[in-house]
Amino acid sequence: MGNEGAISRRVSMWSALPTFRQSLPGILAMIVIAIFCGVPGIPFPYTAEAMLKYVDAVLPPIYTKGLFIDLLHFNYVVIGLVAGILIRNVFGVPRSWEAGLSYSGVFMNVGIIMLGSQYMLRDLVKLGPVSIILMVIMVFGGALLFTFFGRLFKLGTSLTALLSAAFSMCGVSACVAIAPMVRAKSEEVAYAIAVSVTFGFFCLFGLPFFGYLLGLTNNAFGLLAAAGVPNSNQVIATGFNFSFEAGKVAGFANIGRVVLIPLGVLFVYFMTLTDELRSTKIKIWQVVKDKFPIFILGFMVVWIGNCLHLWPQPASEAMGNVMNWFFTLCFVGLGLQTKLADMKKAGPSGILIGYGAGILRVGVCVILIFILAKAGVFVE
């Protein structure tokens, strides 16, 4: 197999999506559900969030706190996700919605681009070089960990590479990026995606409780979400599930991990080389160019413009609102695409290997961040 078979050509984000007419029912459904769940910045009073606040006010307090908002930390992220998951798995999603739901990834990318308007150069300084080093360690160290587990349990080259890429970098994107390079079968790709997505689902709801239990700051938890959760949209949702500031940090820090996708994919490829794959010629620069996430450039433009004070305050606030709206649509879309039946696809071996290595990786990340937080590395 030549280069054409080993490396998939870059496909335009827009050309890979369904037409707008096909997607309109799904997009409208996400917008309506998001508004009824509670979109920040939109003054619609009859939302699920307002209802939960009312219930908290009526019910007797638990340790002086409300059940849903204070103890369970229900916010627009959790409400949108839960609403989407319930609709998908209880009532079902009409086939006409499916095309529109594929735009949730686009909404996330637009939200990340707008995220640049919320940061100044001092915010990068706050995170410091330690956070960059942590991202590098978690990407390449995670790849080594999953490669070891894959060989230990004799998963095979393709599946080992897919799981290593999915858990170490950005879940579905990294998995799809490396699939043609390791000649993965379509069922192996679906298997690896199911394992990483369902693991990220548990992280989304479980990690914030660990964050509160450990008393992590917003910066520390944002880095934990970025380093520990496999998929980018789940990273950002996990951060916002903890707090708005943690969500911003998670999105900012996750960019460092996304940028590492080309190098991470190459690293996993060479770590899992077999005699069959050694016969395939890979052009390193071509891989880096094809796999680099273009939306990062948009984030950099907006962020640099904000650092240089090119955007007046009203424009910066408007971009912040746009960020919230697109992230909310992404979270609702993520819930509407979450099939609880996918957990069955992972199977017992997937749970053992994927979840076991994933939990170990997150555990190491929690320990590192907790130690750094106690040492005062993460300032607010």
In the numeric block, the tokens 């335009």 are attached to: 12
d(CA 195, CA 200): 9
Q: For 155-190, how does the pLDDT look when each residue is reduced to its tens digit (9 = 90+)?
A: 778 888 888 888 888 777 788 778 877 877 777 777
Low-confidence ranges of the chain (pLDDT < 70): 1-16, 63-64, 71-72, 124-127, 273-292, 342-351, 378-380
Name the one residue in this structure whose structure tokens are 């069955």. Answer: 344
Give the ranges where the chain is alpha helix by DSSP (H).
Answer: 3-6, 20-37, 48-58, 76-86, 95-101, 104-115, 121-152, 157-168, 172-178, 186-214, 218-228, 232-242, 244-259, 261-271, 275-278, 284-291, 295-307, 313-337, 342-350, 356-374
All residues at 6 or more sequence positions from 203 whose CB lies less than 8 Å from its CB, including other chains: 225, 228, 229, 230, 234, 238, 362
Residue-level pLDDT at 9: 47
The pLDDT, as a whole number, for residue 349 is 66
Distance, in Å, from the CA atom of 122 to the CA atom of 102, rounded to the nearest integer, reads 35
Question: In this structure, what token pair is assigned to residue 120?
Answer: 């100044």
Give the chain's domains with CATH numbers: 3-374 (1.20.1530)
Residue 349 to residues 147, 268, 352, 356, Cα–Cα distance (Å)? 15, 21, 5, 10
Segment 31-90, tens digit of pLDDT:
999 999 888 777 788 888 888 888 888 887 776 677 777 766 777 778 888 899 899 999
